[in-house]
Copies of this chain bind each other. A is one copy, B any other.
Amino acid sequence: MPRKPDLMPGTLDMLVLKTLARGPLHGYGIALSIKKLSQDVLTVEEGSLYPALQRLLLQSWVKAEWKMTETNRRARYYTLTAAGRKQLGIELSQFEQMIAAIGRVLQDA
């Protein structure tokens, strides 16, 4: 019995970068945003999200700074860098290429 994954493996970095392309956001906010926009189909677990953010930081695709939220709580805000924006473009086009290729395999013919 294969388990239904919370998200499609390999797409998380792209989703996070895209979310940050709309403006800086803290981790928790990123998870909420993806969940909401996907209409609850995609759920980003903390154990997936924070390692992903560490990856993105290491690559300098995002930068982070501690700030206070509107609700007066400490939070780490992530901002997309120029390199991150470029990387997002690369991942988007690779993703679309893959989806198109899978679509061809799935076609009835």
Contacts and interface: CB of A to CB of B under 8 A. Distances in A.
A68 interface: no
A89 to B, nearest CB: 12
A4 B98 CA distance: 11
Copies in the complex: 2
A69 interface: no
Chain A binding surface SS class:
helix
A35 B107 CA distance: 14
Interface string A22-59: 00000000000010011101100000000000000000
Instruction: Please tell me the size bucket of the interface on A.
Output: 20 to 34
Contacts of A101: 38-39, 41-42
Contact of A15 (B5, B34, B99, B105): B105
Interface of A: 2, 4-5, 7-11, 13-15, 18-19, 34, 37-39, 41-42, 92, 94-95, 97-102, 104-107
